[in-house]
Amino acid sequence: MFKRVVLLLLASAGLALGVATWNAVRAPIEPITSPLLVNDVSQLNPIPVNRVITPTTTEEIVEAVKGHEGPISIGGARHSMGGQIATVGALHIDMRGFDTILAFSPSERTITVQAGARWRQIQERIDAANLSVAIMQSYANFTVGGSLSVNVHGRYVGRGPLIRSVRSLKVVLADGSVVEASPDQNTDVFNGVIGGYGGLGVITEATFELADNVKLKRHDRTMPIGEYERYFVDEVRGSATAVLHNGDIYPNAFDTVHAVTFSRTDDPLTVADRVIPEGKPYRLDRFLGWVVSDWPFGKVARQHLIDPIVFRGEPVTWRNYEASYDTAELEPASRAASTYVLQEYFVPVDRFDEFAAHMRAVFTHRDVNVINVSIRHATQDLESLLSWARTGVFAFVVYYKQGTSARAREDVGVWTRELIDVALSVGGSYYLPYQIHASDAQFFRAYPRAREYFALKRRLDPTNKFRNELLNKYYHPPG
Ligand SMILES: Cc1cc2nc3c(=O)[nH]c(=O)nc-3n(C[C@H](O)[C@H](O)[C@H](O)COP(=O)(O)OP(=O)(O)OC[C@H]3O[C@@H](n4cnc5c(N)ncnc54)[C@H](O)[C@@H]3O)c2cc1C
């Protein structure tokens, strides 16, 4: 059986290869842009704004916010995928140049940065002191401000959302005042701004706790999906050495999990680089991504041919190396007719099997081109007002390919709402930085403290200056 699959694969590979290899591996084509058209990495959400500013000082931000009566939107690295960074006619504050590292204390293991700084910059600064970012996404391209405003998470075992590693932050409110907030000071602002999608003000600075940059050894195991929850609870969550973990559910059967754990080790390094070198062309990664998404049997090839090669051996790397992936490895040659996007659902740990079964049914019924479903775990967050982890949760991160036509986008909306209903039915939630398909009822059920957040917004931003497509959809200020 396996031989037949391989033969079929090779035959289809031969056919397909001649047709389009070049399209997949050539450098990405830059989309047509204008400075006044704010778009995100998915290229699905071009939004015309009135003016764009690129501040480098807090004073510039204060003046811009104080002096502007109309809508203001804020952008970081632009990796949210549903218009969270802009609204029509806004003054857009592009934070990418506001990126100075303000203070670094190796002895206190803290760093203070301006909000446009990216994780990568922080890694380059703290690596020599053998320190590491405590909580961040899997990739290092994101800005601190964008990450705080989404309250992101990563693959860190025993850690939860980013709020857990924030000592304090500064934010420019709608009246131009600069407020410092922390878990003990202006707590309402702290808990509202983190995960608040830029709706309360502009985050200008943040201080984070850091972790040790330890050596990590990778090990992996493949198992039927029904065994994963127990495996995670027994072997990963309780492990004294596990630092990073994720499981990948293989499409299209969605019945097998490839669990990958990185554990602390004293073994010698097998990869000498301390962080991944910048500017790599990622031709092979992009080619393999295209094989998995577009080739007949591409998904079977990944599970049975590609991954066994990619995951050979047990490499030993630095934590900072493993945390310095570049989203360039995912970038297709063009996003004009189709694009690669993410979604994410959060499910209480003991409801894993239930959600996974329903998710498989939705994907199969709706014929979704799923490339990967990555599972991560996050601890509870009862602090942030728009918390997505009201209990300890498994996150199901869905990476898939979709068309860009209006019809294709409507179709995605249909199965997205179905999946949100499934997540809600098991006491879970869904993630807000992606396409905005949830109904009002779904949003308020997934985020029961949203009304508290909106009440705070009314108090701090009474004229509704800070806007974007996400807030426009669910926030309905009086009048
Ligand atoms: C390939 C890829 C991988 C991803 N992996 C993960 C992952 O592993 N874990 C995870 O949790 N998420 C993940 N995400 C989601 C990602 O973390 C969020 O989209 C995050 O917001 C990206 O940061 P950014 O700098 O691009 O923010 P942007 O998209 O630019 O902004 C996000 C939000 O933050 C607001 N904002 C930005 N800067 C400020 C500021 N200074 N003050 C106030 N508000 C501000 C914006 O208005 C917007 O509402 C991933 C996304 C992609 C595309």
Give the pLDDT mean for 282-287. 95
Backbone angles phi, psi at 396, to 5 degrees: -105, 105
d(CA 207, ligand 1 centre) in Å? 18
* Position 344 confidence tier, pLDDT thresholds 50, 70, 90: very high
CB within 8 A of 118, min separation 6: which ones? 77, 99, 140, 141, 142, 143, 144
Report whether pLDDT(164) > 60.
yes
- Predicted local confidence at residue 234, as pLDDT: 96
Q: Hey, what are 349's tokens?
A: 């740990």
Q: Is the pLDDT of residue 235 over 80?
A: yes
pTM (predicted TM-score): 0.95
Average pLDDT over residues 235-261: 97
Cα dist from 284 to 25, 144, 303, 383, whole Å: 7, 29, 17, 42
The secondary structure of residue 43, as a DSSP letter, is S
Say if ligand 1 is within 6 A of residue 297 CB.
Answer: no
pLDDT at 138 over 80: yes
Integer Cα distance of 405 and 336 in angstroms:
9
Tell the residue nearest (CA) to atom 34 of ligand 1: 146
CATH number of 215-439: 3.40.462
CATH code that applies to domain 97-212: 3.30.465.10
> pLDDT (tens digit, 9 = 90+) per residue, 144-160?
999 999 999 999 999 99
- Please report, as a single letter, which amino acid is at residue 26: R
Percent of the chain with pLDDT over 70: 93
83 lines ligand 1 (CB under 6 A): no
* pLDDT band at residue 26 using 50, 70 and 90 as cut-offs: low
Residue 174 has pLDDT above 60, yes or no: yes
Quote the ligand 1 centre to 39 CA distance (angstroms). 13
- Identify the three-state secondary structure at position 459: helix
Confidence check: pLDDT of 1 > 80? no
**What is the H or E stretch that residue 172 is in?**
strand 166-172
pLDDT of 3 reads 42
User: Which pLDDT score is estimated for 240?
Assistant: 96
What was the pLDDT predicted at 30? 61
Task: Sketch the domain layout of the chain as residue ranges.
Answer: 97-212, 215-439
User: What is the rounded distance in angstroms from the CA atom of residue 120 to the CA atom of residue 142?
Assistant: 8
- pLDDT class for 14, splitting at 50, 70, 90? very low
Does the CB atom of residue 145 touch ligand 1 within 6 A? yes
The closest residue, in CA terms, to atom 5 on ligand 1 is 137
**pLDDT at 332 > cutoff 70:** yes
76 C-beta closer than 6 A to ligand 1: yes
pLDDT at 29: 62
467 lines ligand 1 (CB under 6 A): no
pLDDT digits (tens, 9 = 90+) for 422-457: 999 999 999 999 999 999 999 999 999 999 999 999
pLDDT surpasses 50 at 10: no
- Best CA proximity match to 92, nearest among 68, 69, 73, 65: 73
Task: Name the residue of 53, 56, 152 to mutate for ligand 1: max ligand atoms within 8 A of Cβ.
Answer: 152
pLDDT at 106: 98
215-439 has the same fold as 97-212: no
% of the chain beyond a pLDDT of 90: 92
C-beta neighbour count of 125 within 10 angstroms: 15
